[in-house]
């Protein structure tokens, strides 16, 4: 029991309780102190440390410290610290409690040695993250938060069912690598949902952009990466993950290229980048699993920096749609520069964190003889650089200023002052990404196995620079097609955003349901000259209404065509650079 006092989740969970009732100044101090203590605990916990607890006839293991747990524990604590600093000026007591509980639960997932403890912290994480989304207290965040909760409740029940089936078949609750079985597939499905594997992904891009500016930074760090941790721990070598991962990577990057809302664009890139990790787990070799862990570690840092930059834009202007932004560089130079450090990191530009982490995955795929996967991942990387490094900065910071304020009176975009704590957090994120890029061993020393790839071999560096350069040239050719457009793109979330409405309208217009007169006697009062539309006509009307977004014109065909053109162009640019 005494060992539990060393648990890295403990400072976060205790801080979550204390911060709710602490005065404002003490609350801010706790927001920095709690993740700092968690980081120290994660760094100093001896490998092999364990703590057991008897309960309900089982031997639970709430603390298991090994190399895999240490890698995720360290970066989770570091991310919580940076995000907490970022939110010092904007978060209230309720949101602070939610984010610390969320981070503590994610840490509990990482250090859980048994499946019941793993499930307990998994569910706490789902509830706490829902409260993070609801903390913004808007109509959209309320609806998105409830949808998020329903999805993760379903995922939690799949997880519990899988654990119980596994227990029945094996008699063990130890959280170790699974063998293919009914219980394992249920657990895998729950983890895939939490990782954002299509078509179980829409909750992510639906909910994350609706949280507060600091809440979204917290959300980007924990839910999907805790799922990646679970996949690495339990499902390395499950071949199906290779194909699910490449679907994720491609799906996310295509929709990111098309997206107008900058925080939604970056949320799609979470799906895409987690796809790299999922594919690596599916490969299952030592090099691939190490690549997945390294990429998860770096991704938490640079994705947090990207979302902090986008959040600073939202905080200063009140806007997050690219079509309503533009021309901000002269008034937000520091934010633009810090954002670009995150952008070049996620795009694997040499000397930044993404290059020494993400490039381990194509390297592992090549070593496993999966040449098609290497090409596919490099094509997706083209799309990443295209959208996060070129399109978003162009439309937000450098392009022509977008639509005026709500009155459309042509006034310039108002830019408010950004709190110093936000700049400090973004600066810490930028330093971390540069330091890892310059000194890869800062990352590699936390990996579960030795990294055998030479970080800066001449050939791969030249190849990457060629791909990046040709992507820039391609962007200049199609920039007018990629200009920000004021519309909403729906993917599978159509099923719950538009599907019920379409069904209701189709049912209301059935042939056997005639208009009812004011008197309510059920007689058909439509009269001559008002023919009842045919079922086919009603179906077309309902379908058109279902696919029409709340804002902007229905342009589904244009969206898909543009996506196909951009993806094909990226492939051609890649082949040209390789040749």
Q: pLDDT tens digit string along 272-289?
A: 999 999 999 999 999 999
Mean pLDDT over the full length of the chain: 87
What's the pLDDT band for 557 if we cut at 50, 70, 90? very low
- Rounding to the nearest 10 degrees, give the CA dihedral for residues 284, 290, 291, 297: 130
pLDDT of residue 384: 93
Reading the block at residue 289, the tokens are 């699993």
Report the alpha-carbon distance of residue 266 to residue 347 in Å, rounded: 13
pLDDT of residue 285: 96
State residue 1's pLDDT score. Answer: 64
- What's the gap between Cα 211 and its chain centre? 13
Q: How far apart are CA 319 and CA 328, in angstroms?
A: 12
Q: What is the 3-state secondary structure (H, E, C) of 6-74?
A: HCCHHHHHHHHHHHHHCCHHHHHHHHHHHHHHHHHHHHHCCCCCEEEEEECCEEEEEEECCHHHHHHHH
Given a cut of 50, is residue 186 above it in pLDDT?
yes
Average pLDDT over residues 260-269: 94
Statement: residue 162 has pLDDT above 70: yes
Task: Answer whether residue 570 shows pLDDT above 70.
Answer: no
Any idea which of 80-84, 295-299, 478-482 has the lowest mean pLDDT? Answer: 478-482
Query: What per-residue confidence (pLDDT) applies to 517?
Result: 43
Structure tokens at 338: 């810090």
Res 268 pLDDT > 50: yes
Helices and strands of the chain, counted as H and E runs: 24, 2
Average of pLDDT values for 44-52? 93
Q: Could you give the percent of the chain with pLDDT greater than 70?
A: 84
Q: Is residue 316 over pLDDT 90?
A: yes
pLDDT at 466: 93
Q: What is the pLDDT of residue 444?
A: 96
Distance in angstroms (rounded) separating the CA atoms of residues 253 and 378 = 12
- Of the chain, the percentage scoring pLDDT greater than 90 comes to 73
- Give how far Cα 82 sits from Cα of 167, 221, 524, Å: 39, 11, 65
Nearest to 272, CA basis, from 322, 220, 315: 220
Q: Residue 64 pairs with which residues in a beta bridge?
A: 50
Check pLDDT > 50 for residue 263: yes
* 498 against 232, higher pLDDT: 232
DSSP 511: T
The 10s digit of each residue's pLDDT in 318-358 is 999 988 898 899 999 999 999 999 999 999 999 999 999 99
Paired strand residues for 427: none
Instruction: Say which range, 6-20, 332-346, 450-464, 491-505, has the weakest mean pLDDT.
Output: 491-505
Confidence of residue 486 (pLDDT cuts 50, 70, 90): confident
What is residue 414's predicted lDDT score, i.e. its pLDDT? 86
* pLDDT score of 41 more than 70: yes
Cα–Cα separations (whole angstroms), residue 558 to 250, 252, 548, 564: 18, 18, 13, 10
- Torsion sign (Cα): 39, 40, 44, 50: negative
How confident is the model over 118-137, as pLDDT tens digits? 999 999 999 999 999 999 99
Between 554 and 157, the more confident residue is: 157
Residues pairing with 569 in the sheet: none
Per-residue confidence (pLDDT) for residue 523, from 0 to 100: 39
């Amino acid at each position: 029991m005494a060992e539990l006092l060393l648990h890295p989740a403990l400072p976060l969970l205790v801080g979550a309780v204390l911060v709710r009732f602490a005065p404002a100044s003490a609350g801010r101090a706790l927001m920095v102190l709690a993740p700092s203590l968690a980081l120290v605990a994660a760094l100093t916990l001896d490998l092999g440390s364990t703590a057991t607890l008897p309960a309900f006839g089982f031997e639970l293991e709430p603390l298991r410290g090994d190399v895999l747990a240490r890698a995720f524990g360290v970066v989770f604590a570091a991310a919580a610290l940076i995000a907490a600093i970022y939110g010092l000026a904007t978060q209230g007591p309720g949101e602070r409690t939610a984010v610390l509980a969320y981070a503590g639960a994610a840490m509990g997932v990482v250090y859980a040695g048994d499946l019941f403890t793993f499930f307990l912290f998994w569910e706490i994480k789902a509830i706490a993250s829902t409260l993070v989304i609801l903390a913004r207290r808007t109509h959209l965040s309320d609806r998105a938060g409830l949808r998020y909760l329903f999805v993760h409740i379903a995922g939690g029940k799949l997880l519990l069912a899988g654990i119980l089936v596994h227990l029945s078949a094996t008699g063990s609750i130890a959280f170790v690598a699974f063998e293919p079985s009914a219980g394992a597939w249920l657990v895998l499905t729950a983890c895939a949902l939490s990782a954002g594997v299509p078509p179980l992904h829409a909750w992510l891009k639906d909910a994350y952009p609706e949280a507060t500016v600091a809440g979204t930074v917290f959300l980007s760090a924990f839910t999907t990466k805790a799922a990646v941790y679970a996949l690495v721990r339990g499902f390395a070598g499950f071949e199906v993950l290779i194909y699910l991962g490449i679907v994720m990577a491609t799906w996310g990057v295509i929709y990111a290229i098309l997206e107008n809302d900058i925080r939604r664009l970056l949320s799609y890139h979470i799906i895409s980048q987690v796809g790299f990790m999922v594919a690596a787990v599916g490969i299952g070799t030592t090099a691939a699993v190490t690549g997945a862990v390294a990429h998860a570690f770096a991704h938490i840092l640079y994705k947090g920096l990207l979302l902090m930059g986008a959040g600073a834009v939202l905080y200063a202007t009140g806007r997050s749609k690219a079509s309503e932004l533009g021309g901000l560089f002269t008034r937000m130079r520091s934010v633009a520069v810090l954002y670009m450090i995150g952008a070049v990191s996620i795009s694997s530009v040499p000397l930044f964190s993404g290059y020494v982490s993400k490039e381990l995955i194509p390297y592992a795929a090549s070593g496993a003889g999966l040449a098609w996967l290497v090409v596919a991942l490099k094509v997706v990387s083209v799309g990443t650089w295209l959208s996060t490094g070129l399109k978003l900065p162009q439309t937000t910071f450098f392009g022509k200023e977008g639509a005026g304020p709500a009155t459309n009176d042509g006034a310039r975009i108002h830019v408010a002052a950004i709190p110093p704590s936000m700049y400090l957090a973004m600066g810490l994120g930028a330093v971390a990404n540069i330091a890892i890029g310059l000194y890869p061993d800062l990352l590699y020393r936390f990996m579960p196995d030795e990294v055998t790839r030479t970080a800066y071999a001449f050939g791969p560096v030249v190849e990457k620079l060629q791909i990046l350069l040709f992507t820039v040239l391609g962007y200049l050719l199609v920039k007018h097609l990629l200009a920000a457009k004021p519309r909403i793109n729906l993917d599978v979330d159509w099923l719950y955003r538009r599907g019920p409405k379409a069904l209701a309208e189709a049912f209301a217009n059935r042939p056997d349901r005639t208009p009812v007169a004011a008197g309510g006697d059920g007689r058909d009062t439509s009269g001559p000259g008002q023919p009842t539309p045919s079922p086919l006509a009603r179906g077309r009307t309902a379908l058109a209404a279902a696919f029409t977004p709340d804002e902007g014109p229905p342009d589904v065909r244009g969206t898909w065509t543009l996506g196909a053109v951009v993806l094909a162009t990226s492939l051609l640019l890649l082949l040209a650079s390789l040749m």
